[in-house]
Copies of this chain bind each other. A is one copy, B any other.
Amino acid sequence: MPKPSIELTESEWTIIKAVWDHEPCAAPAIQEKLHKQTAWTYSTVRTFMDRMVVKGLLAAEKVRNLTLYRSVVTREQAQRGELFYALKHAFNGALTPMVQCLLDTRSLSADELEKLESLIKAKKKSARK
């Protein structure tokens, strides 16, 4: 069965995004990559990654003296998890208000609006079938 629902902390997002971009990869590479952004030491990064393995977010494989990590959940799964968390808690599962809120808050370019509209049109078409 698919994972029930994936939730990531802020730090975990940071890590997993880096992993997705470099997969498979070792901890030192990730820490170096993130160092500018986060100033985390190797130990910190490593702890996060190992904990994420325990949680089933990453997988680790030993190669010689190196531990290679790769993601177990896809970007899409994680995105969905996050989105549903918001949908469920903040909007009680109601989609329209959520989109409403999105539109209200960010000033979208005409371009973006156009894109959204065509997304919906496409969806309608495929639904109607």
Could you list which residues of chain A lie within 8 angstroms of chain B, going by C-beta atoms?
A: 8, 10, 13, 76, 78-80, 82-87, 89-91, 95-103, 105-108, 110, 112-113, 115-117, 119-121, 123-124, 127-128
Contact = CB atoms under 8 A, between A and B. Distances in A.
B80 A101 contact: yes
B101 A99 contact: no
Given A8-B89, A83-B102, A96-B112, 8 more contacts: A80-B105, A82-B90, A84-B105, A85-B86, A95-B106, A96-B116, A107-B127, A117-B117
Contacts of A123: 103, 108, 113
Looking at chain A's contact residues, the main secondary structure is helix
Nearest to A107: B127
A1 to B, nearest CB: 17
A115 B96 contact: yes
Given A119-B103, A120-B120, A89 B95 contact: no
Contacts of A108: 95, 123, 127
Contact of A117 (B87, B115, B120): B120
A115 B99 CA distance: 10
A101 B123 CA distance: 12
Given A83-B98, A95-B106, A99-B99, A13 B113 contact: no
